[in-house]
Amino acid sequence: MKHRFLGTIWWLGVKELWSLWRDPAMLVLIAFSFTVSVYTAATAIPETLHHVPIAIVDEDHSPLSRQIADAFYPPQFMPPAMIGHEQVDPGMDIGRYSFVLNIPPDFQRDALAGRGAEIQINVDATRMSQAFTGNGSIQQIIQGEIADFMRGRGQAADPPVDLVLRARFNPGLDKSWFGGLMEIINHITMVSLILTGAALIREREHGTIEHLLVMPVTPAQIMLSKVWSMSLVVLAAAALSLNGIVRGLLHVPIEGSLALFFAGASLHLFAMTAMGIWLATLARNMPQFGMLMILILLPMQMLSGGTTPRESMPVLARDLMLAAPTTHFVELGQAILYRGAGLDVVWPSFLGLAIIGSLMFYLSLRRFRSVIGSMA
């Protein structure tokens, strides 16, 4: 009896895979989500400085001003354009320069004499993706060059405290490491929800759900077949993306165990596929399903801790999001992939996903049974 029960789940799942194979729109969505979307999310991080146009008005023409100008180079900045005062406003008005530095006359002499020396930084704040990060980087570069110049002339006093920065898990502070992996984590959530919901709605629209009702299958078997088949597709796509895009093209090192990560992803998919079936029982067609999915998916992903640290959120939001599977999945995903954590560290997240997934499957099964009962 047990073998017959499992065999039915297996063949129903195979049927789901064949249905997905004949759905080009879904195949394109899966391929795009785990390839192009992951790569662009990693390489187009808004805060990353890449070939930022910068200009310098050098009124000092001193060794110090030339040393400052030489400190800006690719790939963070484009080679500085040396311009005059009359070119500053027109250049920024048409968006030719994101930053313009104005080094005043006698800047080096005032710095060596210990008098107040100022450099004006003009920022195009309409480029929000670069303005804040670039402003801070430029200030650090200028201060570092001035300090090196002064030390070379024996006029720089050692500071009483020497601050040493050591970045763990991402020594180069490369934001593509964060963007690529988080995009895979987010797409595991999104695609699993879409595939299972679309599979059930597709059967209802094509009339095949009525065929299942006259067969000796139970609602639990139908649900489990959709869960394992769609989860398998998402896991395979995520594995290929991790190894082909993240490791291959982006050269992002994976610190922890991929087997442990995919074990956690399987629990997460169990919860999300059950949620997708529950949403599909509420919607009558794909447009309605899409609207319901947006209302649930966006808050779950925005408040999961993947975009903003949970510690910075209101206490009420943090407590409510403990009931969302995305919170626990993001937590275990970051701990394993970024910091190399083991099961002894992430077991609370595994337990949370198991509890939420079981509860979600139970609620979805009850709802699915009632819907099928009304159709019989």
Q: What pLDDT was estimated at residue 264? A: 95
pLDDT > 70? residue 309: yes
What single string gives the DSSP state of each residue in 261-323?
Answer: HHHHHHHHHHHHHHHHHHHHHH-SSHHHHHHHHHHHHHHHHHTSSSSS-GGGS-HHHHHHGGG
Provide the pLDDT confidence category of residue 1 given band limits of 50, 70 and 90: low
Strand, helix or coil for residue 99: strand
CA-based torsion, 142, 147, 148, 154: positive or negative:
positive
Tokens of 109: 């002499």
Predicted local distance difference test score (pLDDT) of residue 71? 92
What share of the chain has pLDDT > 70, as a percent?
89
Asked if pLDDT for residue 281 goes beyond 80, the answer is yes
Give the residue extent of every domain in the chain.
2-44+173-375, 54-152
| CA–CA dist 83, 100 (Å, integer) | 9
What letter represents residue 241's amino acid? S
One-letter amino acid at 56 equals: I
pLDDT number for residue 372: 74
Could you please state the CATH topology (level 3) that the domain comprising 54-152 is classified under. abc type-2 transporter like fold (3.40.1710)
- Per-residue pLDDT at 46: 52
The answer to whether residue 335 scores a pLDDT higher than 60 is yes
* pLDDT on residue 159: 46
Mean residue pLDDT of the chain comes to 85
pTM of the full structure: 0.76
Nearest to 55 by CA among 27, 34, 85, 26: 85
Structure tokens at 358: 């079981």
> How many residues are listed for the chain in this entry?
376
CA atoms within 13 A on the CB side of 136: 7
Handedness of CA 81, 84, 89, 90 (dihedral sign): negative
| pLDDT band at residue 167 using 50, 70 and 90 as cut-offs | low
The average pLDDT across 191-200 equals: 90
Using alpha carbons only, give the angle 150, 131, 186 rounded to the nearest 5 degrees: 120
Angle between helices 175-206 and 219-241 (to 10 degrees): 150
- pLDDT (mean) for 333-356: 91
Look at residue 37 and tell me whether its pLDDT is greater than 80.
yes
Does position 376 have pLDDT exceeding 60, yes or no? Answer: no
> pLDDT value at position 79?
92
What's the CA gap between 22 and 343, in Å, rounded? 39
Q: What is the pLDDT of residue 161?
A: 45
Question: Can you tell me the mean pLDDT for 205-224?
Answer: 76
Residue 20 has pLDDT above 80, yes or no: yes
The pLDDT tens digits of the residues spanning 78-107 come to 899 999 989 998 888 888 888 899 999 988
Task: Kindly tell me if the per-residue pLDDT of 301 is higher than 70.
Answer: yes
What does the pLDDT read at residue 45? Answer: 56
The tens digit of pLDDT for each residue in 108-139 reads 888 888 777 788 889 887 766 677 778 888 88
- The mean pLDDT of 61-77, rounded to a whole number, is 90
SS3 for 55?
A: strand
50's tokens: 């890449």
For CA atoms 265, 267, 270, 272, the dihedral sign is negative
Cα separation of 10 and 257, whole Å?
A: 29
- Residues 26, 31, 33, 35: what is their CA dihedral angle, to the nearest 10 degrees? 180
Res. 157 pLDDT band, cuts 50 70 90: very low
Could you give the CA distance from residue 76 to residue 51 in angstroms, rounded to a whole number? 5
**How confident is residue 351, by pLDDT bands cut at 50, 70 and 90?**
very high
Question: In the chain, which residue ranges form alpha helices assigned H by DSSP?
Answer: 2-21, 24-34, 36-43, 63-70, 88-93, 107-113, 128-152, 175-206, 208-213, 219-241, 258-282, 286-302, 315-320, 325-337, 343-375
Helix (H, G, I), strand (E, B) or coil at 252: coil
Amino acid at 257: S
Q: How far apart are CA 321 and CA 309, in angstroms?
A: 13
Tell me what pLDDT residue 250 has: 86
Mean per-residue pLDDT for 357-370?
91
